[in-house]
């Protein structure tokens, strides 16, 4: 399948008034935001979603799933109060930050 690789954001990226976001997603990152939700999307369709705390999965868990089916547009979206971050898979264990937003609230 053909899909568009989005241009990653570079430098120090402001997440909300209290933190900065990583330009890449560490594989040991827990897929939780505490309050809000994390979703994994493949080609625009949700394949996993969590509002649980503590985290049920890590980025490495989703990397394993994406690596088994790599010819798709895989994204992980963190949506929390005052902060949203979307990472897109750009290769083996390489998830790059492609968008930030205000989150909700």
Domain spans of the chain? 13-101
Rounded to the nearest 5 degrees, what angle is found at the Cα of 44, between the Cα atoms of 66 and 69?
20
How far apart, in Å, are the Cα atoms of 5 and each of 26, 49, 84, 90?
19, 22, 19, 7
pLDDT in tens, the chain (105 residues): 688 999 998 766 766 655 667 889 999 999 998 889 999 999 999 999 998 888 889 999 999 999 999 999 999 999 988 889 999 999 999 999 999 988 887
- What pLDDT is recorded for position 88? 98
What is the C-alpha radius of gyration for the chain, rounded to an integer number of angstroms? 13
pLDDT value for 105:
76
Predicted local confidence at residue 63, as pLDDT? 98
Q: What per-residue confidence (pLDDT) applies to 104?
A: 87
């Amino acid at each position: 399948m053909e899909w568009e690789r989005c241009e990653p954001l570079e430098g120090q990226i402001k997440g909300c008034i209290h933190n900065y976001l990583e330009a890449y997603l560490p594989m040991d990152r827990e897929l939780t935001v505490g309050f809000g939700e994390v979703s994994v999307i493949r080609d625009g369709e949700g394949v996993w979603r969590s509002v649980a705390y503590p985290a049920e999965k890590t980025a490495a868990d989703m990397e394993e799933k994406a690596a088994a089916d790599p010819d798709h547009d895989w994204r992980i979206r963190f949506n929390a109060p005052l902060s949203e971050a979307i990472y897109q898979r750009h290769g083996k264990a390489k998830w790059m930050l492609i968008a930030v937003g205000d989150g909700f609230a």
